[in-house]
């Protein structure tokens, strides 16, 4: 499960890091507490996307890698409304190739969701509130979460296109397993080109790209329960809470 993450790096820096064209328009504000249905950045490699083509126009040739804005929570094309996305912020690696909501996007519309880190919670014996933890790379580099994206249109194809995305999850590595039994799938740089290739549709090859995240890429520390409130989005959420030990049952 990945229900909250941090997206604070400037878009120009993210575009350079992933070798992508930067986004256009007003940049998204740094958000240290990204919640479901929030707008986020994702890296895509595609031919001219359907929402940018004149009606009936074909692709324009070679795909281009871009950093784009998406609504977090994938909404399948057949969904009645955007509320479906709140239940689809994550896609399990084990079933992504076969589940109806994700299998088409898995074969044709994949992305990378950059994240400075993410949050998970553990239970604390004798305390009602769970303890939040901030998980991040020890070297300070952003995570490259494997993701999928979709286009959804309201009003029987007469409304504007909405671009949505989801984050793939897998079994946790030994370090992360101390906090939670699952974690986002992190793509190493050597897999980015194939994962983003819009002309790659082979499910077996795609699944082979989704390897366990090395334990060396995971560090964590306790943070304030301020992160529990979606309205709190500032950098203080990353501050370590001293004296909190990781013990007792985890969730």
Number of independent structural domains in the chain: 1
Q: Is residue 185 part of a domain?
A: yes
Burial profile 117-131: b = 16 or more Cβ within 10 angstroms, e = fewer: bbbbbbeeeeeeeeb
Mention every residue, 6+ apart, whose C-beta is less than 8 A from residue 225: 129, 131, 132
Give the model's pLDDT for residue 154. 81
CATH number for the domain that contains residue 198: 3.90.1680.10
Q: Is residue 15 part of a domain?
A: yes
Give pTM, 2 decimals. 0.91
Over residues 211-239, the pLDDT tens digits come to 989 999 999 999 999 999 999 999 999 99
Buried b (16+ CB within 10 A) or exposed e, 190-220: ebbeebbebebeeeeebeebbeebeeebbeb
pLDDT, residue 250, reads 40
In a domain, 194, yes or no: yes
Q: Which pLDDT belongs to residue 190?
A: 97
The answer as to whether 164 is a domain residue is: yes
Kindly give the parts of the chain with pLDDT less than 70: 1, 48-61, 156-157, 247-251
| Residues annotated as part of the active site | 2, 120
Tell me how far apart the terminal alpha carbons of the chain are, to the nearest angstrom.
Answer: 11
Question: Residue 234 falls within a domain, yes or no?
Answer: no
User: Can you give the pLDDT at residue 49?
Assistant: 55
User: Of 241, 228, 196, 13, whose CA–CA distance to 116 is shortest?
Assistant: 13
For residue 193 the two structure tokens come to: 């080109």
- DSSP state letters, 174-203: TTGGGT-SEEE-B--HHHHHHHH-TT---H
Would 225 be classed as within a structural domain?
Answer: no
Range of the domain at 204: 5-117+144-218
Flag whether 65 is in a domain.
Answer: yes
Report if residue 97 sits inside a domain. yes
């Amino acid at each position: 499960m990945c229900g909250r993450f941090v997206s604070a790096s400037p878009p120009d820096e993210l575009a350079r890091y992933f070798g992508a064209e930067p986004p256009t328009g007003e940049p998204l504000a740094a958000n240290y507490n990204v919640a479901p249905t929030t707008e986020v950045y994702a890296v895509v490699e595609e031919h001219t996307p359907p929402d940018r083509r004149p009606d009936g126009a074909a692709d324009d040739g070679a795909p281009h890698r871009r950093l784009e804005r998406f609504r977090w929570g994938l909404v399948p094309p057949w969904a009645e409304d955007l509320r479906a996305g709140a239940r689809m912020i994550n896609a399990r690696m084990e079933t992504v190739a076969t589940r109806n909501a994700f299998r088409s996007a898995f074969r044709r519309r994949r992305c990378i969701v950059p994240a400075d880190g993410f949050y998970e919670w553990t239970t604390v014996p004798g305390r009602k509130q769970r303890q939040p933890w901030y998980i991040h790379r020890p070297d300070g580099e952003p995570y490259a979460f494997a993701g999928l994206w979709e286009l959804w249109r309201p009003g029987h194809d007469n409304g504007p296109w909405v671009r949505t995305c989801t984050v793939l999850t897998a079994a946790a590595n030994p370090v992360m397993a101390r906090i939670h039994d699952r974690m986002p799938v992190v793509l190493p740089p050597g897999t980015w080109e194939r994962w983003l290739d819009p002309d790659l549709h082979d499910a077996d090859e795609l699944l082979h790209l989704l390897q366990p995240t090395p334990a060396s890429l995971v560090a964590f520390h306790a943070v304030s329960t301020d992160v529990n409130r979606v309205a709190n989005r500032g950098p203080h959420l990353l501050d370590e809470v001293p004296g909190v030990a990781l013990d007792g049952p985890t969730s």
